[in-house]
Structure 1
Amino acid sequence: MTNNSPQYTFLSLGDSYTIGESVPETDRWSVQLATMLREQGVNVANPDIIARTGWTTEELQAAIKSSGNTKTYNLVSLLIGVNNQYRGQSLEKYRSEFNALLQTATQYAGGNKARVFVLSTPDWGVTPFAASQNRQKIATEIDAFNAVAREECQKAGIAYVDITPISRTASGDLSQIADDQLHFSGKMYRQWAEKALPLVKSWF
């Protein structure tokens, strides 16, 4: 692909893991993915991001509506669910709201669900922040939320990228943890981008 090719657009939706809490902008997983795609000849812009630390599915949907963003994109990603789990919200509520977000993401992709992908929720229970908490309970709950997300993606025909096992490799490895001891580092986010790269590159 030459430099004269049209630049593809990218929208990344989510929470702290998408906005990259406690890491530089260049270390955000979706920004790293865009960089990797360009290195492989796919002329994609750095993503527009609608994400904030602490957001649940409901809060992300509300923020999308209030953003007034009516653009369409060549690529749309969604990573959401950890705050639903953290706040003890029900799987039923998550399923309904996550499904609505899949529809929203597809709308942003111009109705092309083949250009939408979801990343699974990582396991924050491996972080130092969770040392005083029941890590097995956190892991079990994260897995349950991810099972719902995977099911809804399968029903909708949307690609699902499971990065949760990768997140668990951060246990005892502070190089994969951000300075706040709760979120992940750019080193971890790079692995997520590498996991998504073959799938996303195959679309262009």
Structure 2
Amino acid sequence: MRRFLAPILLSACLCGCPAPEGGPQSPGGEGAPPSSASETQEPSADPSPEPSAEPDPEGEASPAPLVRPPTETKPGGLQVGQRYHFRVVPKQGITVDEVWTITSVSETEVRYDLRSVNRMEEVAGMPESPPVEFGPTPKVFILSREDVPLPPGEPPTLAGEETLDISGRSFPCQVFAKEGTKQWISALFPREIKIEHEGRPFRWLVKVEAP
């Protein structure tokens, strides 16, 4: 019974969202074929998400971006076939590992396949669950986002600048802060390189793999 309840409990923790169409996949290694739903799914646009402290079952768990990418943001160092690995820890006992595989790069958009693996440790009386894998899900991130609304209220504060070294690459970042959230924004990547929420690491880039 424990074996069958664990995935259900994990889904309940992940902000109550139902599993995406086609259901989660059990990890089967890189050679595991995607589900038919993944094979036929159209790439979805990646607008600025609503603020959230909970992970999306399909990955990309993060608070809403505080700022748009810099106007000089270009695909630059992005290459087809690169894999960007992110770690997300939305709350105690829950870890989400995301892998973005770049499939297409232009001056206006970046297309990628998103795969995520969700893990829940035994915490607060809830049993540990086996890893649950979602994806790969085709996505598209629009670089021209002047019309995308930002969170309401006062604009974020530029808290400083910092260069993050990841997998032998340097990502010069501007650090923005607002209402307990800090985000590291680099012109070399269209999404945040690192996010801290309520004083703790929330989402960060841990590895970049060459094509």
Structures share a fold, TM > 0.5?
A: no
TM-score (norm 2): 0.26
Normalized per residue, which structure has more helix? 1
Higher strand share: 2
Give the TM-score, by structure 1 length. Answer: 0.27
Q: Which structure has the larger Rg?
A: 2
